[in-house]
Amino acid sequence: MTLIPKTKRIRNEEYLKTIRGLPCLVCGRGAEAHHLMCVGERGLGYRSGDNWAVPLCRNCHTDLHRFGNEQKWWNLEGIDVIEWARRNWERYIEPSDN
CA distance from start to end of the chain: 51
Cβ proximity to Zn ion: between 78 and 95 the closer is: 78
Element (H, E) at 32: strand 32-35
Other beta carbons within 10 angstroms of residue 46's beta carbon come to: 15
Q: Which residues bind Zn ion (CB under 5 A)?
A: 24, 26-27, 34, 57, 60
* Shortest CB 2 distance to Zn ion, Å: 29
Q: What is the DSSP string of 34-93?
A: EE-STT-SS-TTSPPPGGGEEEE-HHHHHHHHHH--HHHHHHHHT--HHHHHHHHHHHHH
Work out how close the CB of 16 gets to Zn ion at its nearest, in angstroms, rounded to a whole number.
12
- Kindly tell me which of 70 and 86 has the beta carbon lying closer to Zn ion: 70
Q: Which is nearer to Zn ion, 7 or 59 (CB)?
A: 59
Least separation in angstroms between residue 14's CB and Zn ion is: 19
CB of 48 to Zn ion, least distance (A): 10
Residue 68 vs 95, nearer CB to Zn ion: 68
